[in-house]
Chain A
């Protein structure tokens, strides 16, 4: 028996994130790059560390290789402690049968044994899909103070967008009366952030019952929360006031990155005490050549810039050769943009080579609601002089 933990966090990182297209063809969504040096999973993991939660199970299923390598022992987030840690939990064979995680609730259900080792009071369920900084400690405190069976973090969204989210209808005390997944006519504007605190003893019972129901989707939002409401358990909403962004689509991923380039970014990464941790590479500082021009951009270490970079975010080890232009784009690690090439309004994955004089994407007004963002898959080779039109998707090469 391990030492008792007050809270164990379970991070749902098995999602495919199919709306990110070629970017998630080879990796799970939580491993997608954001802000140059981060991956989406850095945010919930760093939040855990800063919130004093040192035991985090990371549930993986879809394309886990890149994510597993990235997480390692959790040392990058200071989680490699004596009694805690980051545990990667893929589905496994039990007895003579084995099964995939059939839903978010089922993924937790299949790891009841893992959680029981720590005999926790609370279970914190997180998703690896969002960019935000949150102190879970306060949420857990509110949960315990109210004696709740479940507390769901919510964020106010514009009412016209509310039908895209899971919406909580609450009373004045924030007790949840009703939960609706993507309602056509939302009764409130409080959207679920995919962050839940459960009383472990209570939720365990519901997870077991859910497993026995053959008609269930085994999903927290669709099944467990409604079942708990039905069962008369005490469910509360916890209102979060900070920045929270779902980066589930190419459009939103691009926008969330570009927001970092505004004069006063709504999301502050330069937050001393709440540093976002990530795997740090051993790259030298980036080099800017005497012919280079860099404007309004974020550049990581290990880059070498000889051309022009405007309104863009470059991950580590990117080379932009002479007379090349990178504009309004996100370029991931170790990609090279050769001389005279242009990359505009695009997301270019890792290890891509954009050949001499090639052109990727087209310039579009920032105000356009639906921009045609060009996406280039990992390892792709764009031939010399080739033209990749706006909104095209270039497949990965492995």
Chain B
């Protein structure tokens, strides 16, 4: 990259609108696209940008995430020096208990930040699915003389829908400078939607976090960013590619469906920036004589005997004879028995759908069957 940087991924988002899907996992650990987890995107983005030291901050429900990250080997982050670091709450006397905000989370890994050899920090979250090489953003950050650069994309202003997703919009001037910040607006007037991804010099980050924490202000966007808007030079950098958001069950469904679009799939998975994930030793997928699959993504280990349309099948899914799966997302190790009929359904891992069961949801309200469910 243009300048040496270390990475920080905040994986402690609260995502109540993802309901059952985040009962036993964090947003970052959500399975996506047939074989990935959402955190594979920020991790791969960093690795593809030559970032070799990445810290992941967790706050709750992180077992599944830890299982996935393991030593970081799948992203080449199991190194002698640097590599992957995982931070959990309750770790310091200064920051006891569950984090009251991202500022406190950052405070809790101050040692990691201080010790980093790299001059810059690339900071992101796990709610957004996109593929980027941070090089260009870093170049823009350095050349504009910014203290902090925020990544954003152009989004149609939509009304707040009570999803409790923390939406942040930026007022970006013609010179690219951030002039104002709107957090969770009921009626957004701005179209520059923050992707909560930042580049900031290490010493500036340390100062901002210490300063905000000392004042008892723990929220990153509302407090730290907004309070410093006139004190530091805050620039915005536009991401022109695809951005998927993990804000609710409906949007989780939509992002997975978006991957059936060859343009989006190509941008995310087959561009020169590959997305890495922990790979399992599954057998290739097998189609029997009665299989009929249309417009779908199918991972290894699946055995398909029935009909599948407009759907995403994760690893080791079994689709019984004469079963019909339409517009659905079927997570790993799930069994859909003969003649079952699914439409607009999200089946979590290890679900069993018995013979002739019928589950029908709606594109805005897909039916979710929780992990291990028996239908």
Give residues in A with beta carbon < 8 Å to B: 35-37, 261, 263, 269-270, 275-278, 280-282, 284-290, 292-301, 313
Measured between C-beta atoms, what is the minimum distance from A2 to chain B in Å?
A: 22
With A288-B295, A290-B294 as contacts: A269 and B288 at CB distance below 8 Å: no
Contacts of B260 in A (CB 8 A): 287
Please provide the 3 A-B residue pairs with the shortest distance between their CB atoms, ordered closest to farther.
Answer: A285-B34, A280-B279, A36-B284
Give residues in B with beta carbon < 8 Å to A: 33-36, 260, 262, 265, 269-270, 274-277, 279-281, 283-289, 291-300, 303, 309, 312-314
What are 7 A-B pairs with beta-carbon distances under 8 A? A35-B283, A36-B284, A270-B283, A286-B285, A288-B293, A294-B287, A295-B289
Could you tell me the dominant secondary structure of chain A's interface residues?
loop
Measured between C-beta atoms, what is the minimum distance from A280 to chain B in Å?
A: 4
Could you tell me the dominant secondary structure of chain B's interface residues?
loop
Contact indicator A284/B291 (Cβ below 8 Å): no
Set B34, B288, B294, B312: member contacting A292, Cβ < 8 A = B294
Contacts of B285 in A (CB 8 A): 286, 298-300
Across the two chains, which residue of chain B brings its CB closest to A276?
B281
Measured between C-beta atoms, what is the minimum distance from A289 to chain B in Å?
A: 6
Contact indicator B298/A288 (Cβ below 8 Å): yes
Contact indicator B289/A284 (Cβ below 8 Å): no
* Separation of A35 and B276 alpha carbons in the complex (Å): 24
Set B34, B279, B289: member contacting A282, Cβ < 8 A = B279
Contact indicator A284/B284 (Cβ below 8 Å): no
* Separation of A282 and B75 alpha carbons in the complex (Å): 11
Contacts of A263 in B (CB 8 A): 288
Contact indicator B284/A299 (Cβ below 8 Å): yes
Set B35, B295, B312: member contacting A290, Cβ < 8 A = B295
Contact indicator A282/B275 (Cβ below 8 Å): yes
With A295-B291, A298-B286 as contacts: A285 and B281 at CB distance below 8 Å: no
Give the interface centre of B269, B280, B303 by most chain A CB atoms within 10 Å: B269
Contacts of B35 in A (CB 8 A): 284-285, 301
With A36-B284, A299-B284 as contacts: A285 and B297 at CB distance below 8 Å: yes
* Separation of A286 and B36 alpha carbons in the complex (Å): 13
Given A282-B275, A286-B297, 14 more contacts at CB 8 Å?
A37-B284, A261-B286, A269-B283, A277-B281, A282-B274, A282-B279, A287-B265, A287-B298, A288-B293, A288-B295, A289-B294, A294-B291, A297-B287, A299-B284
Contact indicator B284/A300 (Cβ below 8 Å): yes
Measured between C-beta atoms, what is the minimum distance from B71 to chain A in Å?
A: 12
Contact indicator B287/A37 (Cβ below 8 Å): no
Give the interface centre of A37, A288, A300, A301 by most chain B CB atoms within 10 Å: A288
Measured between C-beta atoms, what is the minimum distance from A318 to chain B in Å?
A: 11
Measured between C-beta atoms, what is the minimum distance from A278 to chain B in Å?
A: 7
Contacts of A286 in B (CB 8 A): 285, 297-299
Across the two chains, which residue of chain A brings its CB closest to B311?
A288
Contacts of B303 in A (CB 8 A): 270
Measured between C-beta atoms, what is the minimum distance from B257 to chain A in Å?
A: 13
Across the two chains, which residue of chain B brings its CB closest to A263?
B288
Contacts of A295 in B (CB 8 A): 287-289, 291
* Separation of A289 and B298 alpha carbons in the complex (Å): 11
Set B283, B288, B291, B298: member contacting A285, Cβ < 8 A = B298
Contact indicator B34/A37 (Cβ below 8 Å): no
Across the two chains, which residue of chain A brings its CB closest to B313?
A285
